[in-house]
Amino acid sequence: MKQAGVTDYLKFARSAIEVIDGAPISLEVFSDEFIEMRRQALKLNALASNVYVKIPITNTKGESAHPLVEELSREGVKVNVTAIFTLEQIDRILPSLENGPSGFVSIFAGRIADAGIDPIPTMKETVRRLSSLPNVELIWASPREVLNVVQADECGCHVITVTHDLLKKTSSLGKDLLKFSLETVAMFANDAENAGFTL
């Protein structure tokens, strides 16, 4: 949002809520202190019934947000618990969501993969654990490539966050690979011609 020039978060949030016309939208708190997170969460929640408040799984001190998430859920606030990386974090947070309204857990599968660890087992196991919690859905967060869209679907993820750049690349989904190869060779030839290189 900063890159897009947003300077007034609440104004932006209100306009985004109008544009999406009732679809779910996640709006994030910015404090690192749980008391202030709670105040911000209630303010964001009051904007519209389709708002999910993004609460990080811990603060920067590593203190778990599960008591706050449980409290907000009990009060009817829809929560999107974000920045989750491990099944231990999932196990800690799910009881806080089970008796509340609908909610999300966002596992940063792309960043898990950036660490050289396959995120698929974590995603599949989380889907399995959510089978007894119909009010909670799994988000595949921070995808890195189009393959992640396919993987998220195969794992049974309910939602995947996709950037504009990645969304454009999904036009290649299911593309004939021989045709793709030919297009790539043509691109190489065109680049070489435009560069004017000679050997």
Range of the domain at 133: 9-173
CA–CA separation, 165 and 92 (whole Å):
34
Known catalytic residues?
54
Distance CA 14, CA 54 (A): 16
State in Å, rounded, how far the first CA of the chain is from the last one.
46
SS3 164: helix
Q: Is residue 121 part of a domain?
A: yes
Report the CATH number that the domain containing residue 93 is assigned in CATH: 3.20.20.70
Domain for residue 195, yes or no?
A: no
pLDDT tens for each residue of 46-56: 999 999 999 99
Domain assignment of residue 180, yes or no: no
Is residue 39 one of the residues assigned to a domain?
A: yes
For the chain, the domain total comes to 1
The reply to whether 133 falls in a domain is yes
Instruction: Let me know if residue 189 belongs to a domain.
Output: no
Tens-place pLDDT, residues 137-178: 999 999 999 999 999 999 999 999 999 999 999 999 999 999
SS3 label, residue 188: helix
